[in-house]
Amino acid sequence: MDEFEIYLVCPPGLETALLAEAQEKGFADPTANNGGVTIRGGWPEVWRANLELRCATRVLARIGSFMAFHLAQLDKRARRFEWGKVLRAEVPLQVQVTSRKSKIYHAGAAAQRIETALRDSHGFTVDAAAELVLKVRIEDNRVTLSLDTTGEALHKRGHKQAVGKAPLRETMAAAFLRQCGYDGREPVVDPMCGSGTIPIEAAEIAAGLAPGRTREFAF
């Protein structure tokens, strides 16, 4: 896979902020849609998006799709899919399925079929506790396969030692700062300082620090 679609997830309503950030960071063909932004690239872009984007919640690598109108067809096409081009048999993974407006409406049954196909066709280890997650979205009978390359959500930057009882998520703070027009040169006053999420994000933006610099990712 040299180039593929990469989906940047964000809270609904903050797509415009994430789109502007993706454009600013030089990602190819950014397009906003409900709940996120789509870009194109390869694995280096996946790694960079996880490391550099402040407004994204997680980064999904879309590895393929096909149509399926019933469980038997899903099973057959999942077995034929070239999983080996992306996944390694020695790395356990878990399968998460959502279904919407499709003839295959039972997400649990769909997950079972895909898990069996992964085991039987390529000998993969499927484990509900695995860090690597295969996200399967079935919508309008199209099955879209994505790898969650992030792991713990990106608002968990990895360098904050203490938080309040109900802290603002760092990704949302970064998006709000962007919506306010903050670029790292203006003074920031936060009357609701709490555990300091907004001032810390503002300071990191001003210092040019990558938000993911002190954490690990599922990839």
28 lies in some domain = no
Sheet of 4-9, strand order: 28-33, 36-41, 4-9, 58-67, 142-148, 132-139, 93-100
Mean pLDDT taken over the chain: 95
Write down the pLDDT at residue 38. Answer: 98
What is the mean pLDDT of the segment spanning 128-149?
97
Give the DSSP H or E segment for 207.
Answer: helix 197-207
Q: What is the CATH number of the domain that holds 116?
A: 3.30.2130.30
Distance, CA of 43 to CA of 1 (rounded, Å): 9
Residue type for position 10 = C
Task: Print the domain residue range for 98.
Answer: 63-148
213 lies in some domain = no
126 lies in some domain = yes
User: For residue 81, how many other CB atoms are within 10 A of its CB?
Assistant: 20
90 lies in some domain = yes
82 lies in some domain = yes
Write down the pLDDT at residue 117. Answer: 96
Write down the pLDDT at residue 167. Answer: 81
Stated pTM of the model: 0.93
Q: Which of the two residues, 200 and 161, has the higher pLDDT score?
A: 200
76 lies in some domain = yes
What is the C-alpha radius of gyration for the chain, rounded to an integer number of angstroms?
19
What is the mean pLDDT of the segment spanning 3-18?
96
> 62 pLDDT band (50/70/90 cuts)?
very high
95 lies in some domain = yes
142 lies in some domain = yes
Residue 215 has pLDDT above 90, yes or no: yes
CB 146 within 8 A of CB 7: yes
84: Cα within 13 Å, side-chain hemisphere: 7
What is the domain count for the chain? 1
Residue 163 has pLDDT above 80, yes or no: no
